[in-house]
Structure 1
Amino acid sequence: MKILLNVLMNGLTLACIYFMVACGFSLIFGLLRTINLAHGSLYLVGAYVGHDLGVRTSSWVLGLAGGALAAGLVGALMQVVLLRKTEGDNLRQALLTVGFSIVVADLLLWHYGAATYQFDLPAAVAEATDIPGVGPYSTIRLLVVAMAVLVGLALWLILRFTKLGMAVRAAVDDRVMLAALGFEVRSLYLVIFVLGALVCGLAGVVGGSVFSVAPGEDARFLLSSLVVVIIGGMGSLPGAAMGALLVGFSEQLGLAYFPNYAVTATFGLMVAVLAVRPHGLFGRA
């Protein structure tokens, strides 16, 4: 029973990281209808920059903020230089962002090499916390759960109760009418794209703190965020949360009890959901 509880806690931690990555992807893909297959690169940029700043300043918190800002800056440049000129052309967006992700991955590999980097965590979160029924459990993993809840709540409040959120929801339904009402739609799209990139960079630092920072993590988290968003539904934060929980638990339970079929369990879950709900659990046509 104790082993099962540890596996479930690990699944919850993994789900929270997937949720933060998928939040950014859901904002960009689900709300803006922008195909961004370089989303994993934003995760990796945030992780590497956060690690560098953490080492230079001896502050994990500054690394957290710097990694998020670096990913936001790269996202802004990508949206203005590459994606703004290809709005509505999904094929060109897909090709451009795939090429961009390859370039970023090679640049990071050239600069940092193929080594695996570990974050130096503050003493307060580097130790273990005793949980009844589970025993000592990594404090940084518990912090990840709290951060994911705060990120999800903040994004939900922004989209639900602010003028920015109302404009975004209106743009999803009728962009032309929103522009006719005087809103600068391109600037709105840029803000949402940067917000999604910031959250992804934040997830990069958090994920790198729990696991490690290494080449190839961009592809892993891009694929996982795609599966999460497809299961949960495009543009839905509750859907991203539910999809992340399902994927995180299925991965960890699969690795613990039937490791040879762990990957097929995740994609089998996606197929099962789409067979019943073609637009995802919380998606709409």
Structure 2
Amino acid sequence: MNWLLLFEQILNGIQLGLLLFLLAAGLTLIFGIMDLVNLAHGSLYMMGAYFAYSFAGWTDSFVIGVLLALPATLLLGIVVEVVALRTLYDRNHLDQVLATFGLILFFNELVRIIWGPAGLDLPLPDFLNTSVEILPGIPYPTYRLAVIAVGLLVALFLYLLVARTRIGMLIRAGASNREMVGALGVDIKLLYTIVFGLGAALAGLAGMMAAPILTVEVGMGERILIDTFVVIVIGGIGSIRGAFLAALIIGLIDTVGRSILPDLLNLMLPQAAASTAAPALSSMLTYVLMALVLAIRPAGLFPPRGA
């Protein structure tokens, strides 16, 4: 086994995990506090990527494009919550699923109308399109290190926001007992709008960070949304700490598994069969882990206090 390659794959797994965390943190807050099943969360991820592409093109700066796209996605999330989702809070989850699935179709068609059906590439600036030698003989892309740094900074920001501020206190109280928070005079509608806007901004940031690595295309949010739901189920619905740790676990299992499993399967299967089976088995491992967690700890590994 190539240990240098394994180390690089571990870093890739951390990077993927932190991207999943950006998505899962917003979704777990929305689900845990608002009790809203939001299938359109992946569409906000997609819109963040398209906003970054457009703003970067207009300003000729990737960094400025991201800085402009972030408030644009937050504003879009607020508009979606006020216009489309506010009437769904008292409805059952099936109605929420159908309504937010309709939003997926709406955003996909909106993207086709504005940006066209073809995939787009968001180029990196020269200072990010380089490599850094993190250890002797191990170069690693600068941009992927930047993604890891941004993910860790956002995790720290969310910890301070939720644990050390008044808004965070209300968020934690809302996750534990929404009716009591409303009875104490807190404007629940405003709290929900703030939470949804924050979740939209986090989803959009994940899309912006992923855009230079992946192709910006219609429907890019649906594929990663499934992994995001797996993360919040494993971590515990409503738990930021759980989302962070579960996202890292899933990222490492998926990425490192794709690197290790072919070598292990080559010991038992022909090379062609091993290369085909390894990615599928790596993806299955995340669902096997989710099933084990649900069987042992139905509330997740790190449920919020009081859950």
In structure 2, C-alpha distance between the alignment counterparts of 1:152 and 1:70, rounded to whole Å: 21
Partner of 1:115: 118
Structure-2 change in CA distance of 1:220 and 1:133 (3 Å) = farther
2:96 matches 1:93: yes
* Other structure's SS at 2:133 match: strand
265-274 or 223-232: bigger deviation: 265-274
Structure-2 change in CA distance of 1:133 and 1:259 (3 Å) = farther
2:271 matches 1:251: no
Show structure 1 runs of 5+ residues with no match.
none
* Cα contact 1:22–1:225 (8 A) shared by 2: yes
* Cα contact 1:55–1:120 (8 A) shared by 2: no
In structure 2, C-alpha distance between the alignment counterparts of 1:226 and 1:108, rounded to whole Å: 24
Q: Could you list the per-position Cα deviations for residues 44-94 of structure 1 after superposition, in whole angstroms to 9, with x for gaps in the alignment?
A: 000011111101101112221222222212211221112211213222221
1:170-249 alignment to 2 at 5 Å?
Answer: 170-249=173-252
TM-score normalised per structure 2: 0.88
2:126 matches 1:150: no
- Off by >6 Å, runs of 4+ in structure 1: none
Partner of 2:299: 279
141-150 or 115-124: bigger deviation: 115-124
Partner of 1:53: 55
CA shift at 1:32, angstroms?
A: 2.1
* Other structure's SS at 1:136 match: strand
* Other structure's SS at 1:126 match: coil
50-59 or 257-266: bigger deviation: 257-266
In structure 2, C-alpha distance between the alignment counterparts of 1:137 and 1:172, rounded to whole Å: 40
Partner of 2:282: 262
- Partner letter of residue 143 of structure 2? I
2:125 matches 1:125: no
* Other structure's SS at 1:125 match: coil
CA shift at 1:281, angstroms?
A: 0.6
- Partner letter of residue 152 of structure 1? A
CA shift at 1:113, angstroms?
A: 2.8
- Partner letter of residue 85 of structure 2? L
2:9 matches 1:11: no
* Cα contact 1:67–1:204 (8 A) shared by 2: no
In structure 1, C-alpha distance between the alignment counterparts of 2:121 and 2:86, rounded to whole Å: 36
Structure-2 change in CA distance of 1:176 and 1:259 (3 Å) = closer
2:159 matches 1:139: no
* Cα contact 2:33–2:178 (8 A) shared by 1: no
Identify which of 33, 44, 47 aligns with 2:46: 44
* Cα contact 1:230–1:270 (8 A) shared by 2: yes
CA shift at 1:134, angstroms?
A: 6.0
Partner of 2:162: 159
Identify which of 73, 92, 115 aligns with 2:75: 73
1:24-35 alignment to 2 at 5 Å?
Answer: 24-35=26-37
CA shift at 1:120, angstroms?
A: 2.1
Q: Could you list the per-position Cα deviations for residues 93-121 of structure 1 after superposition, in whole angstroms to 9, with x for gaps in the alignment?
A: 21111111111012212332332222222
158-167 or 211-220: bigger deviation: 211-220
- Partner letter of residue 97 of structure 1? T
* Cα contact 2:128–2:143 (8 A) shared by 1: yes
TM-score normalised per structure 1: 0.95
* Cα contact 1:71–1:201 (8 A) shared by 2: yes
Show structure 2 runs of 5+ residues with no match.
262-277
Partner of 2:267: none
Partner of 1:169: 172
CA shift at 1:124, angstroms?
A: 1.6
Aligned length: 285
Let me know the Cα RMSD of the aligned residues: 1.5
Higher-Rg member (1/2): 2
* Cα contact 2:21–2:243 (8 A) shared by 1: yes
